[in-house]
Amino acid sequence: MSQDKPTYDLSIISANYNNGRYLSTFIRSIIDSPVWPAELILVNDGSTDQSIEILAGFKDVTFLYVIDLKQNIGLSAALNLALEAATGKYIMRADPDDIFLPQRIPLQIAYLEAHPDIDILGSNVEYFSDLDGRILNTSHFPLDHDAIVDRYRRGEHGLQHPTVCIKGDVYRQFRYTPGLAPTEDYDLFSRMALAGYRFANLRQPLYRMRVHTGSSTSNITFHQISQTFDYRDLLWGTHTSRLQRWRYFKHIQHYRKFQLATDYPARILHLLLATAFYPSKLINRLNLW
């Protein structure tokens, strides 16, 4: 692959476990960006599918660096390996079953360059169906620092993890806590907020997030949701009752069923149930429109 596009001082880090069927689309979405990263560090975390053979087909992609693990060590540990290898001024997260929209890299880098007070920058996302590729809905994350941090203080997410672009000297001060998936990002960003680093989100969707039955959100358990609130209470000095945890778990369950449902009545039913279990989510969205 000839070096025919501008290259930014940017590392993209990603961890792959058995996402071989999506890898080509993921990597090509980065190749198709109007600018390239200095490095895409992809940890193949002991995959048992054809991932490593598919990655070998991209050996001419000069910015792709593959760390091939023979045994699975888990998402947090795999991301830590990628983070330790990253050398860029900025470090961007991504998941290998998703897609970069063309302007993600230039817009996020331009914003961080123009706003040196911001350390961690996310964006909104388009959720799309793995079955037919249609856009299911678009996220509405808060844009400013105080509103984002308030989400974490409440035990919610203020950023969509794979959309973040972070100053490298900030990101490298932290590590993901092993064993917390899929709540590793809540823990990480809460610690960054408590350390005084500043957040923002771009309003426009710059990332396309695949919705499928094999994703971590589709298979989330009450224990995993409860674990998030354990860390909320530990880090923020709050107390979350079992009822509050259960209501948020049911909200997440029905919201994902809303996204996965293929017929209109089922989508409406699950959206109504998701709202009933956690009305503040609807209020947040209305406030952001």
Q: Give residue 281's pLDDT band: very low, low, confident or very high (50, 70, 90).
A: low
CB 184 within 8 A of CB 166: no
Output the six-digit token pair for 55: 């990655």
Higher-confidence residue of 173 and 252: namely 173
Whole-number pLDDT of residue 216: 62
Whole-number pLDDT of residue 93: 98
Q: What average pLDDT does the segment 102-108 reach?
A: 98
Whole-number pLDDT of residue 3: 60
CB atoms within 10 A of CB 243: 8
Per the omega criterion (within 30 degrees of 0), is the bond before 182 cis? yes
Q: What average pLDDT does the segment 47-71 reach?
A: 97
For the chain, percent helix, then strand, then coil, each to nearest 5? 45, 20, 35
| Residues whose CB is less than 8 angstroms from the CB of residue 109 and which lie 6 or more positions away in sequence, other chains included | 8, 10, 35, 90, 165
d(CA 217, CA 211): 9
Q: Count Cβ atoms within 10 A of the Cβ of residue 230 and give its class: 0-12 exposed, 13-18 middle, 19 or more buried.
A: middle
Tens of pLDDT, residue by residue over 17-39, are 999 999 999 999 999 999 999 99
CB 39 within 8 A of CB 90: no
CB 206 within 8 A of CB 111: no
Q: What average pLDDT does the segment 66-90 reach?
A: 97
Lowest mean pLDDT among 129-143, 181-195, 259-273: 259-273
Tens of pLDDT, residue by residue over 59-69, are 999 999 999 99
Higher-confidence residue of 40 and 249: namely 40
Name the pairing type of β-strands 64-69 and 120-129. Answer: unpaired
Q: What average pLDDT does the segment 117-134 reach?
A: 95
Whole-number pLDDT of residue 282: 57
Whole-number pLDDT of residue 19: 96
Q: Is the dihedral of CA 9, 147, 192, 163 positive or negative?
A: negative
CB 201 within 8 A of CB 165: no
How confident is the prediction for the chain on average, in pLDDT?
Answer: 91
Q: Give residue 237's pLDDT band: very low, low, confident or very high (50, 70, 90).
A: very high
Can you state the angle between helices 75-85 and 184-194, rounded to 10 degrees? 50
Q: Give residue 278's pLDDT band: very low, low, confident or very high (50, 70, 90).
A: confident
Higher-confidence residue of 277 and 147: namely 147
Q: What average pLDDT does the segment 70-84 reach?
A: 96
Fold that domain 7-240 belongs to in CATH: Spore Coat Polysaccharide Biosynthesis Protein SpsA; Chain A (3.90.550)
d(CA 20, CA 32): 19
For the cut 50, the answer to whether the pLDDT of residue 286 exceeds it is no
First to last CA, the chain: 43
Higher-confidence residue of 212 and 15: namely 15
Lowest mean pLDDT among 118-122, 138-142, 180-184: 180-184
Domain ranges in the chain?
7-240
Q: What average pLDDT does the segment 79-103 reach?
A: 97
Q: Give residue 215's pLDDT band: very low, low, confident or very high (50, 70, 90).
A: low
Q: Give residue 288's pLDDT band: very low, low, confident or very high (50, 70, 90).
A: very low
Q: Is the dihedral of CA 251, 104, 23, 164 positive or negative?
A: negative
CB 92 within 8 A of CB 165: yes
Q: Give residue 254's pLDDT band: very low, low, confident or very high (50, 70, 90).
A: confident
